[in-house]
Chain A
Amino acid sequence: MAENLNVNIVSPSGEVYSGEAISVQVPGSLGQMTILPKHAAILSSLSKGTITVNTPHGENTDFVIESGFIENVNDSLTIIIENILEN
């Protein structure tokens, strides 16, 4: 069993999501992408779209965002967003 991603989604009004995930789909500025465990270190800006966090329990959590940034280093994934349009 591969290790999971450690996901933190942070906004100015606090932590929006914090927990483990099998994979995370984000609307990268160059197109939709999916981050899986052992992904190379990446820092990307995000455009308008939906972030989907797939938890180990088989649940999906969606966040609709306007813009943001994602950083992933050693399976620790941080997404910062200024505001969430919809949860």
Chain B
Amino acid sequence: MPSTKELRARIKSVSNTAKVTGAMQLIAASKMRRAQQNVLMGKKYAETIQSLLSNLSSSVDLEKVNIPLLETREVKNKLMILITPDRGLAGALVGNVNRKSLDVIQSSNEKYSVLSVGRKGFRFLNSRDQEIVDQIEVPDKPEIADTLNISDFAIEGFLEGKWDQVDLVYSEFINTTSQIPKVQTVLPISNSEEIESSTSDYIYEPSDYEVLIELTPKYVRSQIYQSILEAFASEHSARMVAMQNATDNANELIGELTLDLNKARQETITAELLDLIGGISALEGK
């Protein structure tokens, strides 16, 4: 049994840890609320632009005209945009996303170039000799303007033929306790989600074709922006939960240690009492 002094020192160190994780939990919780809010705010825009796109692509005869970003061509090279947090301490989140990206790269027949958004993914793939074309960092409270360099990089490379497909890998935000690594193809824009809309009597200005040409890059930008928002919401939620667990564990440990401390303290008191009684009875026996 450790001495009371040792136990006191351990309790102190564990409660310091609990203080730190508790503070991190609070910070993550406030960042999480804002990030979740941003996801919701961005959703409306993403959905509207998506419905405009499906409206237009059902109006334009895609067989006759060429919309570069909708063009499906033989895939030789792919670009992966890997979105990860800059920092750890977020439970299994970082590992899950990184592992997913490695899975995708290894199971693909075509060569992947990687654009890394966030430091964690960069370090992970860099240490595995994966070619990383660029690493971009996004501020904590991203506006769409902060992400345009990413989308423009992807779009330009696609148009120049550097890659024939662009995939996003990020952790999809389901709710505070659940985030799932997700792979999503953003380029070429897939037309599978065609919604039947009443497109019959629309006036298109300047023309449906020209509006579509202008809309497609905006759509890709909004998709990439929205995934970055989701990645942030996932990161802060995962960190909040991880820190909450750490704080709970620390508090539990403090409870156990306090119990041990009390036991140890009682034992010393008992021993002292026994000593005293022994001494008294020795005196009386004289």
Binding site for B on A (CB under 8 A): 10-15, 28-30, 40-45, 67, 69, 71, 73, 78, 80, 82-83
Which residues from chain A contact B221 at a C-beta distance below 8 Å?
82
- Report whether B225 and A45 are in contact in the complex, using a CB–CB cutoff of 8 Å: no
CA distance A65 to B261 in the complex (A): 68
- Report whether B41 and A30 are in contact in the complex, using a CB–CB cutoff of 8 Å: no
- Report whether B205 and A80 are in contact in the complex, using a CB–CB cutoff of 8 Å: no
Interface of B, helix, strand, loop or mixed by DSSP: helix
CA distance A67 to B148 in the complex (A): 15
Which residues from chain B contact A15 at a C-beta distance below 8 Å?
41, 44
Interface of A, helix, strand, loop or mixed by DSSP: strand
CA distance A30 to B198 in the complex (A): 24
In the complex, which residue of chain B has the Cβ closest to the Cβ of A33? B205
- Report whether A45 and B201 are in contact in the complex, using a CB–CB cutoff of 8 Å: no
Render B19-43 as a binary contact track against A, CB cut-off 8 A, 1 for contact: 0000000000000000000100110
Binding site for A on B (CB under 8 A): 38, 41-42, 44-46, 48-49, 52, 55-56, 143-145, 198, 201-206, 208, 210-211, 214-215, 218, 221-222, 225-226
Taking A14-B41, A14-B44 as contacts, is the C-beta distance between A44 and B205 under 8 angstroms?
A: yes
Which residues from chain B contact A40 at a C-beta distance below 8 Å?
201, 203
Q: B202 CB to closest chain A CB, in angstroms?
A: 5
Which residues from chain A contact B206 at a C-beta distance below 8 Å?
29-30, 44-45
Taking A69-B211, A82-B218 as contacts, is the C-beta distance between A13 and B52 under 8 angstroms?
A: no
- Report whether A45 and B144 are in contact in the complex, using a CB–CB cutoff of 8 Å: no
CA distance A15 to B56 in the complex (A): 23
In the complex, which residue of chain B has the Cβ closest to the Cβ of A16? B45
Taking A29-B205, A44-B204 as contacts, is the C-beta distance between A10 and B218 under 8 angstroms?
A: no
Contact of B203 among A13, A29, A41, A67 (CB under 8 A): A41
